[in-house]
Structure 1
Amino acid sequence: MFSLNDIEHILKWIKILNKNLIVNMKLIKLEDSNFWFYDEEKGIIRNKNNSFFNIIGLREIYELKGKKQILEQPIIIQNEIGYLGIICKEFNGIIHYLMQAKIEPGNINKIQISPTIQATKSNFTQKHGGKRPAYIDYFINANKYEIIVDQIQSEQSSRFYKKRNRNIIIKVDEEIEILSSHRWMTMEQIKALMRIDNLVNMDTRTVLSCIPYYKWNDLKDKDKEAIENSFKDKALYKSIINDDPIDLVSIYNRINDIKMYSEKTSEFVKLKDLKSWHMQDGEFVCKKPYPYKIIFCKIAIEGREVKEWTQPLFEAIGDATFGLLMRDNKKNGKREFLIKIKHELGCFDEVELAPTLQIEAVHNEALDNVEKYFLNQVNNKKNIVFDHYLSEEGGRFYHEQNRNLLVMQEQNSDFELPREYMWLDYKTLNYLVQHNNILNIQLRNLLSLLEI
């Protein structure tokens, strides 16, 4: 397949950039920062400009087996919606995507392959006093171009409170200046690079998961041919081209039942009022095992809009595991995925569709029979299609990498599904991802790993 840059060139480019990149990170105490502080009156960690984001306590109260339960933790409040945008262009009949080699302070391996632009509203309005992000005008003026994707999608709801970003892909025909930080890549190349641990970042994965393949009947013949040739997984291809109607009513019925009968309540509280959390050795930590803690860092990175700053970061304790169980429907040959309706503290609308398995390294809830089956398959190394460590967002999280798994169900295996699970084919999921806040970011990221 034609490409402007081969894989070897891309990997060498990343290696050279990493070699020449100077990154200095130093752990500090919150009181050592001249910009961030604990606001006693509001009970939050914020900065002097009251910009970017702040951290507050969140307490959730619910019942489990007739007993009152309380879950409390710090959570990030970042109300502004940022751009996660990719420019694409056709060369010799092949769509190429303009990808960025971007460093984030929390990245485990410095540079990762990121969208063309990855910018908060504070970034592109230059509230921080830094440089205007490259290529931003293409997205601000997106209506001048062919818009492939434009969706506002959720972020990690266990860390953020109702946080969303704008996932957008635009297709251009004009000549574009290519900066040294950017390269054109084909979808096939990006998919191959996803099989290298921690190389393709979370934001790239979520944006690409939104490409609307389900619009098969609306495509031109040449586009249909291109998609047919690009799908390595023919069961996925069968899911896209089938004419079966998408059964939205039953899906929303099950989602709405869970939303309607949920009796969980939540409230913001001051960080110092979180009974299980306290400052210890300059870090904000939980007194019992928990998936993360908050650290405070002084950071210096060459080539960023702002070269030196301080900020809090959420540091993961251990690696989470995200997994998607797949099967090929015996009746129609379509690829189906076992999806779970899942609640998280920061969900924008109570629940979202999540992968089969989504567990933190530290988790207190008992595993159900589906999760046990999935982990048994993994532990016995059965039918594993994809198994790699990929990073979470490095702008707010420090060295957070998670194990991402795609696993085929054994042909003769069957088990009872709890009410929050359902099998959905790829076309249905690809349709649902065109709507805001239906598929959570873990599910979107796993769908992006499929061989399309």
Structure 2
Amino acid sequence: MDEFTSALVRSADPAAPSVHTLGDVLSWITEVRTHTDLRVARGPLAGLPDWTYDDGRIAHRGGGFFAVVGVRVEAGGREVAGWSQPMIEPVGTGVIAFVVREIGGVLHVLTHARTEPGYADVTELGPTVQCVPENYARLPVRPRFLDEVLGSTRVRFDTVLSEEGGRFLGARNRYLIVESDVDVAPDDPHYRWLTLHQFEELLRHSFYVNIQARSLVLCLRSLIPRG
């Protein structure tokens, strides 16, 4: 068993040491939620700069981000034979990545406290990187750690997956697990190092880990040899 796999196995062990205790992690999540004010309001489409409606399609003038389209579905074996619904059609392939490193002989995952519209409790723990790189091509700032992920030569997992079809149309994300020597301050307000076991403890409860990080936890777990 190589050093990476040994560190990963220890990461899944409840007795293994960690940078932060689970209590510290829960306190951090609570603090982020307490200091985050998320407000959502309805607004007319005509009041959204650079967004247009044309031929049944809501899209950005620059062709980026996503579009909202209408679809008509006919399917057998369902409660109804057919229906119509809006769907979100992303532009570009997303990057969903865990940055991992060995700390004290135990593999740790760098997780990001993310706030997004639709979260039931304001903030959830997400991957180190979660974005669509094409959307930042014309912007002066890129997501933190994106370049480290895309330029890594220590890739431990790499695959492209299609997302749920119930809400998204043609959505594809590249899921990555990469080793890196990057670090963050112990009191960084947005990032913390967690072990695999700590993630699995949080997964026992709702609204702590987002769906992208849940998928990556399974990907990371798949790297542990059976038997």
Q: TM-score, normalised by structure 2?
A: 0.82
Deviation at 1:100, TM superposition (A): 0.5
Q: Please point out which of 102, 107, 120 is paired with 2:114.
A: 102
1:167 has 2:175 as partner: yes
Where in structure 2 are the equivalents of 1:95-134 lying within 5 Å? 95-125=107-137, 127=138, 129=139, 131-134=141-144
1:123–1:133: 8 Å Cα contact kept in structure 2?
Answer: no
Q: Please point out which of 25, 28, 48 is paired with 1:33.
A: 48
Residue 151 of structure 1 aligns with an amino acid whose one-letter code is T
Name 1:80's counterpart in structure 2: 92
SS state at 2:30 partner: helix
Name 2:60's counterpart in structure 1: 47
2:110–2:192: 8 Å Cα contact kept in structure 1?
Answer: yes
Deviation at 1:102, TM superposition (A): 0.9
Aligned length: 209
Deviations along 1:407-426, one digit per CA (max 9) or x if unpaired, are xxxxxxxxxxxxxxxxxxxx
Deviation at 1:189, TM superposition (A): 0.6
Q: In 2, distance between residues paired with 1:180 and 1:114?
A: 14
Residue 104 of structure 1 aligns with an amino acid whose one-letter code is E
Q: Please point out which of 155, 161, 167 is paired with 2:163.
A: 155
Deviation at 1:101, TM superposition (A): 0.6
Change (3 A) 1:62 1:3: closer
Q: Structure 2, unaligned stretches of length 5 or more?
A: 1-15
RMSD across aligned positions (CA) = 2.3
1:10 has 2:21 as partner: no
Deviation at 1:69, TM superposition (A): 3.9
Deviation at 1:72, TM superposition (A): 2.3
Deviation at 1:213, TM superposition (A): 3.4
Residue 33 of structure 1 aligns with an amino acid whose one-letter code is L
Name 1:373's counterpart in structure 2: none
Q: Percent identity?
A: 25
Q: In 2, distance between residues paired with 1:124 and 1:168?
A: 19
1:148–1:168: 8 Å Cα contact kept in structure 2?
Answer: yes
Q: In 2, distance between residues paired with 1:156 and 1:204?
A: 15
Residue 143 of structure 2 aligns with an amino acid whose one-letter code is P
1:59–1:73: 8 Å Cα contact kept in structure 2?
Answer: yes
Change (3 A) 1:130 1:26: farther
SS state at 1:27 partner: coil
Where in structure 2 are the equivalents of 1:246-395 lying within 5 Å? none
Q: Please point out which of 176, 186, 192 is paired with 2:201.
A: 192
1:60 has 2:70 as partner: no
Q: In 1, distance between residues paired with 2:67 and 2:172?
A: 15
Deviation at 1:186, TM superposition (A): 0.5
Change (3 A) 1:139 1:214: closer
Deviation at 1:214, TM superposition (A): 6.5
Q: In 1, distance between residues paired with 2:144 and 2:169?
A: 28
Deviations along 1:257-299, one digit per CA (max 9) or x if unpaired, are xxxxxxxxxxxxxxxxxxxxxxxxxxxxxxxxxxxxxxxxxxx
Q: In 1, distance between residues paired with 2:108 and 2:178?
A: 11
Residue 65 of structure 2 aligns with an amino acid whose one-letter code is F
- Higher relative CO (CA 8 A, sep ≥ 6), structure 1 or 2? 2
Q: In 1, distance between residues paired with 2:53 and 2:208?
A: 35
Q: In 2, distance between residues paired with 1:50 and 1:175?
A: 34
Deviation at 1:212, TM superposition (A): 6.2
Q: In 2, distance between residues paired with 1:137 and 1:93?
A: 26
1:123–1:130: 8 Å Cα contact kept in structure 2?
Answer: no
Change (3 A) 1:110 1:122: farther
Residue 36 of structure 1 aligns with an amino acid whose one-letter code is W
Deviations along 1:79-112, one digit per CA (max 9) or x if unpaired, are 4111111111112221110001111122121111
Q: In 2, distance between residues paired with 1:70 and 1:202?
A: 28
Name 1:268's counterpart in structure 2: none
Change (3 A) 1:52 1:175: closer
Change (3 A) 1:175 1:72: closer
1:138 has 2:145 as partner: no
SS state at 1:148 partner: strand
Q: In 2, distance between residues paired with 1:120 and 1:197?
A: 26
SS state at 1:211 partner: helix
Q: TM-score, normalised by structure 1?
A: 0.43
Deviation at 1:123, TM superposition (A): 4.0
SS state at 2:118 partner: coil
Q: In 1, distance between residues paired with 2:150 and 2:170?
A: 23
Q: In 2, distance between residues paired with 1:63 and 1:170?
A: 42
Deviates more, 1:9-18 or 1:95-104: 9-18
Q: Rg: which structure is higher?
A: 1
